[in-house]
Structure formats: structure tokens, C-alpha cells
Structure 1
Amino acid sequence: MGIVLGPNRYGKAEIRLVRVHRDGDTHGLVDFNVSIALSGELAAAHLVGDNSGVLPTDTMKNTVYAFAKEHGVGEPEVFALLLARHFVGSQPQVHGAKVSIESFAWDRLGPHSFRKRGDHIRTTVVSVTAAGTQVVSGVTGLTLLNSADSEFHGFVQDGYTTLPPTTDRILATAVDARWRHAGDDTDWAASFEGSLAALLEAFVGTYSYSLQQTLYAMGAGVLGSRPEVAEVRLALPNKHHYLADLSPFGLDNPNEVFIAGDRPYGLIEGTVARDGAPAATAEWWL
């Protein structure tokens, strides 16, 4: 049985970039975590140690900082597209580039003062290959909770089932969502804010009989309001809240005092796609 080299890529991970735009007395601040991965005709490096086709990962890091100065930094999708197209266009042995960016938001306190926002992280993944360009935007760590309008009953029960059905429970999750754009040219800021608003509106407005139902409503909400989005993928961990037993203290607990569970937790994952949307040109996952 022969041994062959399978798919491979390499790059520089988690390049920390902070760019201050000093436009007069009022400054702008961009805070990115950039990761780059390249693929192509790179087998020789693995098989015989021939590095003639290897662009050093240190060069990738330097390119990020140089481009931040030369081109400025605005929307993460724009910066990721710029980098990915550069690596594919300037290196003939590179056939594919994947640039991933985590964007950390800062709220303005003054002309040059900021406070870091911690409720979620904006994400971007751009892939440039011969098959085309693909842009995936998203959000991670978006923690949400509904204290009412959530039930869970009618599920399968067997000899190991101890979970009681309920018609009144806390529904809490930390949203990890990605949405694939149909093209590579749009108003990225408006698209992100609109998609985020649609996720929140669906979570708030859905009377939920399961977290699966909520997931579908959130994905459908994005597709229904953002025509530039082709497909949405979500991972929703079920942040369990257990009713505290206060009976030893002679107290009733009508769904008021809960124990916030840590692990294990349920994990609901799913894809909601627009019928007839352009197919993906590169693999993408949560």
C-alpha cells in the first residue's frame, strides 16, 4: 500500500494588528486578529524538504503590517480580500489563500479614548482560489437569554431519560454564526449590522419549543432580510439553567431561582440556505 501526501496548507496564525487612524483630532481604532493559510504546489517542502516554493510565514506577518500602513484598515472583509488576492496574485505556486479575521470592537469615549466592547467578536473568512472568491462573515460569543416563551416537551424518552418535560424554561445560548455571501462586493458594514440585527430579532421574537426551532428562525431571519447572503450556519450551545431545589428551606421556587450549568451542554448545529443560491467555492465550517 502506497503512502501519499494529502491536502495541506500552511500560514501564520493570530497576527495581532491594531491600527490607529489619526485623522485630525478624532482618531479611529481597528483591532484585528489575522490568520493566513496558503495552499498550492507545496508538496516538495513536505516530501523532500525543498523550500523553494515556501513563502516564509514571517513574510506573511510583515505583509499584514505593511498593508495596514499602505492601504489603511476598515471593514475586515475588505482587508481580508486585499491580503488573499495579494498572496495568490504574487506567488505563482500559491493557488489558494484563506484569510481569517477576528474583529474586536471598541466603543468611543472621546476623540482619542476608547473602551473595549466584550459582548461578541465579529468574524470574517475570505477564500481566494481558481474556483472563485468566497466571503464568509459572522459573529461568535454572542450570549443571549430568554427568561420566558420557551418550552421543551414531546421528546423521545427511554430507560435512561430523567429530564422532565417543561412548558416554561430559560433558553440561553452563546451564538456562533457564519453567513456566506453570494458575491464579494457589498456594503460590508451594513451587511454585518443588518445580519446581526436579524439574528437578535429572531431570537427575541420566536416562541421556542426547541433550540432547533430557534436556530432555524435565526437563519431564516438573516436570509429574509439580507439578499446578499446565500447561506447561514449556526452553532448554538444550550446553556442549561436548572431550577434550584429550595424545599429543604421551606421555600417555593416558581421558576425564579436557577443554577447556571457549565458542562456538559447540548449543542445544536444547522445550516439554513437560500434555495438556488450560488454554490460555495471553498469549504467553510464553524
Structure 2
Amino acid sequence: MNYGKEHVAVYRTYATALDGVRTIPESEFDGRDNTLLGMEVRVQVAGEEFLPSFSEGDNSKVVATDTMKNFIHHHMGEYEGATVEGFLEFVGRKFLETYSQMETVQVSADELPFEERMVPGEDGFEPSDLVFRVADGESGFGHVVLSRSDDGPVVEEQKSGVTDIELVKVKDNSFTGYVQDEYTTLPERENRTLYVGMDIYWTYAEAADALGEDPERYVPPEQVSDIAQVVFDEYDVNSIQDLIYRIGERTLERFPQLESVSFEANNRTWLKVRDDLEGDAKVLREPPRPTGFQQFSMDHSDLEEGTPE
């Protein structure tokens, strides 16, 4: 028994900058100005006092979902932090403090990313402080579940992520050694162009680290995305399963404050039309449906057990 509001788009200009992020070898990312911070929010509330609205048509305890939308919009202006996860915890806490009939609140959001545009400056082109492009690619993700306690609202669950990653590696990818039987028509490929889409999610050992209040303990989506592309570049992987395992391994090594990392990946690899061209050149086409996918989750125990060479 729950209800809520989704697809609540909210934008904030000149939000608090994310400064003091710890850098890693795979990424140049060391923070963001947050001159323009946007996200699409989903809120879901539950509580026994809402039961009469379902069973008797009694709406005396119901907070209209339009009110929830307005509540989210208002509190974006009150939030003094710098991360998607921090805002979700902040607005979820405010819901519980404002409406006593709400026993739990789930709040999630997809970042609505923007990119600075380059404009002429004194020393050549430089990022504009004013003009941004609406980005179509990957974005950060956050999810928190809050409930009541004797000491006030507490975070029961937390998940962060980066979604809609799409990477293409033009060669040095193989797919061999799989089961061959009377149903197999796919040929083994020692060197293929590999196009993979993936969403990467992670949880923290301490949920408070997700909020970004201590930037050195915060894991930015930009850095995890950069890890994915660096690992893809470094290894001749024998499957997408092999690739996501290595990405997860590197992510946990770089961020010991994480509890786990998980993946939803899918294979969008183009099909060969011609490979009789000079050198490594090929002509490729879009694959037909259906599409293969992979799901995987790992934690620090997988590192302790050792990894494949």
C-alpha cells in the first residue's frame, strides 16, 4: 500500500559546488560547479493511515501527489548540498518531518545532465559560465528509503549509480569458448567491434557517505563512468561478463568505502558486413533484436578471493 508522484523535473541554478573530491588515476574529474543542477524525481510514500483512502474512499489523510510535486520544487531551493543523493535524503527527511501519517518515504532521481559550451575567451576557447547544452548521454542516479525512528528519520536503504553508458571499442575484443551444440549458429570471434550499454549501481558501507557532505568519501558518477571506459580500453575482454567483472573489480579497489557494485549491461554489437578492406577496417550494420543482457553484483569478498589473470 503506497502511492506517490514520478517524473517530477526540477532545476536549480547556482547550487552548492561539489569541491574536494578525491581524484583517481582513471579520471580527471575533481568536482563540479553545479551552476545548473537538474534531476527527475520519483517519490513514493507508505503508512497505515492511508489505508482508508483505498478501502473507504476517505482522503482525510491523503497528501495530494500534486502537493508532493510542489513540496519537491520548494525544497530544491532550501537544499544547501551538492549531490543528487544528498537532495533525496534532504527532501525525504522533510516529508517525514512534515507529514506524520507517512511512515516510510522512498525517493529516487535521475540526474538531468548539462554540459558547458565552449565560447571564445582571452586565451582561446573556454567553458562558458552561462550557456549549457542539454546532454543526452549518461547520467547520475540516486535512491534512498527513509523511515521513522525515536531519533528522527533514518536512511534504511541507499543506492547510487550512473546509467545509460554506451561504449564502442573498435577492435581487440573476443568472444570464444562458449557452448557449441546443434542450436549454435553464432561463429566464434577472435577480434570484434564491441558495442555495450550498461548501468552501474553501488551501495556504501555507510549510507551517510552517499550524501556528499564529506566529498572525499563521495563516489561521483563521473569517476565510475571513467573507470568503465579505461578498463574497456586496457583489456582484450572475452565477453561482456568479463568486462563488467573487471570494471566492478577496479571500482571496489578505488573506493573501499563502497559495500557493493552491480551492473545491468546489454550487447548492442554491430554485425559485420565486410572485412575485406585494408588493415582493421570493416563495414558494420545494426544488429536485429533480440538483445543479450547481463546482470552481475559483487562486493569486497570477490576481491579477497582473487581475480582471474
Aligned to 1:267: 293
Q: How far off its partner does 1:255 sit? A: 5.7
Structure 1 pair 106–246 and aligned structure 2 pair: CA distance change class (3 A): closer
- Asked whether the equivalents of residues 20 and 30 of structure 1 are also in contact (C-alpha less than 8 Å), the reply is yes
Distance 1:27 1:135 in 2: 22
Structure 1 pair 96–160 and aligned structure 2 pair: CA distance change class (3 A): same
Distance 1:263 1:48 in 2: 47
Aligned to 1:20: 13
Q: How far off its partner does 1:265 sit? A: 1.2
Confirm whether residue 96 of structure 1 aligns to residue 104 of structure 2.
yes
Aligned-CA RMSD value:
2.6
Deviations 1:77-124 (A, max 9, x none): 111000111222332332211111111222223222112233212111
Confirm whether residue 168 of structure 1 aligns to residue 191 of structure 2.
yes
Distance 1:265 1:255 in 2: 25
Aligned to 1:283: none
Q: How far off its partner does 1:254 sit? A: 6.0
Aligned to 2:219: 191
State the one-letter code of the partner of 2:138: H
Confirm whether residue 209 of structure 1 aligns to residue 232 of structure 2.
no
Confirm whether residue 127 of structure 1 aligns to residue 145 of structure 2.
yes
- Asked whether the equivalents of residues 72 and 91 of structure 2 are also in contact (C-alpha less than 8 Å), the reply is yes
Q: How far off its partner does 1:245 sit? A: 4.6
Distance 1:227 1:27 in 2: 26
Confirm whether residue 257 of structure 1 aligns to residue 270 of structure 2.
no
Confirm whether residue 178 of structure 1 aligns to residue 207 of structure 2.
no
Confirm whether residue 36 of structure 1 aligns to residue 43 of structure 2.
yes
Confirm whether residue 114 of structure 1 aligns to residue 137 of structure 2.
no
State the one-letter code of the partner of 1:134: E
Confirm whether residue 224 of structure 1 aligns to residue 253 of structure 2.
yes
Q: How far off its partner does 1:253 sit? A: 9.3
- Asked whether the equivalents of residues 242 and 259 of structure 1 are also in contact (C-alpha less than 8 Å), the reply is yes
Distance 2:288 2:61 in 1: 47
Question: Equivalent residue of 1:112, what SS?
Answer: strand
Aligned to 1:5: none
Normalised TM-score (structure 1): 0.83
Q: How far off its partner does 1:272 sit? A: 1.3
Q: How far off its partner does 1:239 sit? A: 0.7
Aligned to 1:64: 72
- Asked whether the equivalents of residues 196 and 265 of structure 2 are also in contact (C-alpha less than 8 Å), the reply is yes
Question: Equivalent residue of 2:207, what SS?
Answer: coil
- Asked whether the equivalents of residues 37 and 99 of structure 1 are also in contact (C-alpha less than 8 Å), the reply is yes
Structure 1 pair 27–270 and aligned structure 2 pair: CA distance change class (3 A): closer
- Asked whether the equivalents of residues 30 and 73 of structure 1 are also in contact (C-alpha less than 8 Å), the reply is no
Q: How far off its partner does 1:252 sit? A: 8.2
State the one-letter code of the partner of 2:113: A
Structure 1 pair 144–240 and aligned structure 2 pair: CA distance change class (3 A): same
What are structure 2's unaligned runs of at least 5 residues? 17-32, 118-127, 149-153, 303-309
Q: How far off its partner does 1:273 sit? A: 1.9
Question: Equivalent residue of 2:164, what SS?
Answer: strand
Structure 1 pair 204–173 and aligned structure 2 pair: CA distance change class (3 A): same
Deviations 1:10-31 (A, max 9, x none): 11101111212299xx992112
What are structure 1's unaligned runs of at least 5 residues? 1-7, 277-286
Residue identity over aligned pairs, in percent, reads 25
Aligned to 2:85: 77
Q: How far off its partner does 1:269 sit? A: 1.0
Question: Equivalent residue of 1:185, what SS?
Answer: helix
Distance 2:174 2:95 in 1: 50
State the one-letter code of the partner of 2:132: F
Question: Equivalent residue of 1:64, what SS?
Answer: helix
The count of aligned residue pairs is: 264
- Of 69-78 and 161-170, the range deviating more from structure 2: 69-78
1:141-156 mapped onto 2 (5 Å cutoff): 141-156=164-179
Deviations 1:100-150 (A, max 9, x none): 111122222322211223321211111113584332111111111112221
